[in-house]
């Protein structure tokens, strides 16, 4: 089968990767003896005000730090979700300037935004994709951001994780840049950021939080292990905590789709020609599949409302083989061929080597398969982004993949756990939390973890987050809910989008849990229909109210209809 693929580095990769979030996951099986130590209640943060003149922070001194600018940002200059941001001080600089082994200059670039009216809290913003960009330090939270840490009075830091956008296609060849991207940038910036907070407010933060989605979610779960003493609350969205495995999985998936795509069909991504894998499953076919899933699973939560809340029950109820018609003639959007069914079944069963060894986790069937974000990750990013990650950044012998559609999956899967003379730390070691199921340090400090994940995430599997919470529970006597909780978002694609209620604020309940002991059994989420200030989600079904709300329940509970009242209101559902 003839294929078209990226045969050169993609110069604009960092832009798309930062915007979308790049690959992730695979589950850890670590266990630890449950502790009997009582979990302490952390004290609430106390508010303060900026005590130093913003411009004076250009004189901030810290080993290895250069401050490039410090300037006041007047109220309303920056707006988030249609709301003005209060006056704050923006400080930009870099840490650890050095000449890399490739002769290029590297540094960890950062910006901090320090509100005039301070909550007494600090937020480390984990960014997406392959990083490489110091994006605005707003501390965005939720699938469709409604509130941000900066708006809530947090001092917020954002960084490029140790390389610039211009270096993003090649930083994987530089050993230290790999380590900074994986985890060391966050470890180096954390004490510096707290020192800058002290210089600005006269004291260090009372409470510190770490959060992000996609690769930012990975950064967050890595921090739960590596920086457990430094942070009190962790908010991980769609965490790619086994990112190297997910990258290989995506390339494996592209090879599966290539079995069913229209030979010779091409599209472009970042100016390069690639195979148009979307011809393997057209929008009409994916919409049909979503409809068949809804037909079997929608009412399992006692409400036929276009949302599959009971994901686990759906995997038992829905049969791709039996519930989706098999084409007897030409493809027309109402059926799938036997080959298409085989490909889709393989995708959901999870990537594996030629000998059948699992590489990554399974993916659940969910109505969000119709989403544009699902298609982008499966058909485009699997060829435009993941080959760079798996071939260069996580590989013990980095090299650009000339043809992802013919690359050896066995070799790629082996390379992410291997080392070499130059790259002494494997991709899995520098990218993943060392002990994802052993969070005893975090737990015994009184810190808390909240994870949210779209059930229809096509790159980082929701099942991988379920594996994480199950392993964590097993390591804590069967229940970790007193310090860690997972919230699935039915229909949501990667971090946002899809037919879903994907707008929510999880930072506020996390703060309340950490500082007041109020454990969040559910978080109310809303649809982003017409008129939404945080941005409209065009994939909200026309049959839904524009402001539909639903409770996102802490796993393993699911939202069940109470039996009366409007299907558009969260108050008429309960977590069971």
Residue 310: the pLDDT is 98
* 120 backbone φψ class: left, alpha, beta (φ>0; ψ -120 to 50): left
Average pLDDT score over the chain? 93
| pLDDT classification of 37: cutoffs 50, 70, 90 | low
Residue 13 clears pLDDT 50, i.e. is over it: no
Query: Which residues pair with residue 453 across a beta bridge?
Result: 488
Element (H, E) at 90: strand 88-99
Residue of 386, 457, 464, 502 marked catalytic:
457
> pLDDT tens, 72-88?
999 999 999 889 999 99
Lowest mean pLDDT among 71-75, 157-161, 270-274, 484-488: 270-274
Q: Is 321 exposed, middle or buried (0-12, 13-18, 19+ CB in 10 A)?
A: exposed
Q: What per-residue confidence (pLDDT) applies to 542? A: 97
Q: How confident is the model at residue 305 (pLDDT cuts 50, 70, 90)?
A: very high
Asked if residues 490 and 311 have their Cβ atoms less than 8 Å apart, the reply is yes
pLDDT value of position 1? 33
Please write the tens of the pLDDT for every residue from 459-476.
999 999 999 999 999 999
Instruction: Give SS3 for 187.
Output: helix
Identify the band that residue 248 occupies on the pLDDT scale cut at 50, 70 and 90.
very high
Q: Residue 480 and residue 168: Cα distance in Å, rounded?
A: 37
Cα–Cα distance measured from residue 48 to residue 562, given in angstroms and rounded to the nearest whole number: 44
Residues 494, 496, 502, 526: which is the catalytic one? 494
> pLDDT tens across 365-374, in order?
999 999 999 9
Known active-site residue 564: no
Q: Which percentage of the chain shows pLDDT scores above 70?
A: 93
Closest CA to 441 of 191, 221, 207, 226: 226
What is the model's pLDDT at position 382?
A: 97
pLDDT band for 146, please (50, 70, 90 cuts): confident
Please answer whether residues 240 and 515 qualify as being in contact, where contact means their C-beta atoms are separated by less than 8 angstroms.
no
Structure confidence by residue, pLDDT tens digits, 328-360: 999 999 999 999 999 999 999 999 999 999 999
At 144, is the pLDDT very low, low, confident or very high (cuts 50, 70, 90)? confident
Q: How confident is the model at residue 18 (pLDDT cuts 50, 70, 90)?
A: very low
Region 179-202: what's the mean pLDDT? Answer: 98
Task: Check if 214 is active-site.
Answer: yes
Say what the pLDDT of residue 528 is.
Answer: 96
Which one is catalytic: 140, 158, 214, 465?
214
Average pLDDT over residues 376-381: 98
With 0-12 CB in 10 A as exposed, 13-18 as middle and 19+ as buried, what is 109? buried
Cα–Cα dist 46/160, whole Å:
30
pLDDT of residue 6 exceeding 60, the answer is no
Is residue 29 part of the annotated active site? The answer reads no
Confidence of residue 15 (pLDDT cuts 50, 70, 90): very low
Q: Is pLDDT of 23 > 80?
A: no
Q: 500, 489 in Cβ contact below 8 A?
A: yes
pTM: 0.93
């Amino acid at each position: 089968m003839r294929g078209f693929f990226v045969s050169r580095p993609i110069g604009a990769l960092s832009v798309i990767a930062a915007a979308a979030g790049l690959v992730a996951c695979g589950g850890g099986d670590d266990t630890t003896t449950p502790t009997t130590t009582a979990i302490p209640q952390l004290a609430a943060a106390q508010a303060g005000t900026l005590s130093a003149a913003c411009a004076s922070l250009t004189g901030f001194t810290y080993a290895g730090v250069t401050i490039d600018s410090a300037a006041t940002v007047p109220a309303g200059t920056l707006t988030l979700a249609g709301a003005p941001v209060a006056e704050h001080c923006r400080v930009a600089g870099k840490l650890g300037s050095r000449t890399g082994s490739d002769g290029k200059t590297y540094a960890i670039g950062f910006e901090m935004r320090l509100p005039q009216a301070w909550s007494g809290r600090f937020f480390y913003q984990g960014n997406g994709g392959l990083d490489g960009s110091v994006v605005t330090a707003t501390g965005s939270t939720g699938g469709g951001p409604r509130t941000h840490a900066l708006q809530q009075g947090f001092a917020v830091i954002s960084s490029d994780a140790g390389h610039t956008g211009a270096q993003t296609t090649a930083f994987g060849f530089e050993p230290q840049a790999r380590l900074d991207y994986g985890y060391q940038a966050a470890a180096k910036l954390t004490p510096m950021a707290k020192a800058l907070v002290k210089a600005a407010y006269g004291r260090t933060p009372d409470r510190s939080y770490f959060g992000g989605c996609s690769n930012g979610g990975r950064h967050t779960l890595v921090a739960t292990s590596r920086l457990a003493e430094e942070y009190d609350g962790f908010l991980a969205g769609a965490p790619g905590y086994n990112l190297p495995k997910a990258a290989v999985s995506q390339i494996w998936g592209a090879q599966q789709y290539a079995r069913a795509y229209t030979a010779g069909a091409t599209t472009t991504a970042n100016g390069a020609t690639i195979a148009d894998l979307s011809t393997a499953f057209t929008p009409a076919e994916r919409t049909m599949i979503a409809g068949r899933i809804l037909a079997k699973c929608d009412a399992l939560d006692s409400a036929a409302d276009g949302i599959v809340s009971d994901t686990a029950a759906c995997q038992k109820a829905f049969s791709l083989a039996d519930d989706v018609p098999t084409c007897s003639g030409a493809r027309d959007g109402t059926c799938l061929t036997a080959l298409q069914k085989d490909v889709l079944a393989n995708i959901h069963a999870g990537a594996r080597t030629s000998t059948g060894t699992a590489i990554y986790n399974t993916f659940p069937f969910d109505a969000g398969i119709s989403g544009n974000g699902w298609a982008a990750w499966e058909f485009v990013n699997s060829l435009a982004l993941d080959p760079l990650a798996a071939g260069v950044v996580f590989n013990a012998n980095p090299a650009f993949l000339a043809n992802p559609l013919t690359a050896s999956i066995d070799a790629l899967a082996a390379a992410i756990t291997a080392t070499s003379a130059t790259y002494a730390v494997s991709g899995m070691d520098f990218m993943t939390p060392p002990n994802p199921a052993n969070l005893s340090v975090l737990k015994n400090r009184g810190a808390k973890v909240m994870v949210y994940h779209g059930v229809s995430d096509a790159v980082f599997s929701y099942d991988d987050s379920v594996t994480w919470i199950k392993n964590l529970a097993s390591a804590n006597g069967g229940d970790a809910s007193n310090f860690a909780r997972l919230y699935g978002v039915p229909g949501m694609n990667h971090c946002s989008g899809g037919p879903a209620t994907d707008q929510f604020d999880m930072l506020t309940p996390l703060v309340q849990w950490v500082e007041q002991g109020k454990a969040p059994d559910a978080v109310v989420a809303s649809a982003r229909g017409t008129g939404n200030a945080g941005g409209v989600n065009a994939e909200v079904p026309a049959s839904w109210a524009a402001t539909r709300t639903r409770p996102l329940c802490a796993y393993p509970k699911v939202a069940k209809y109470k039996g009366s009242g409007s299907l558009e209101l969260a108050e008429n559902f309960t977590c069971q």
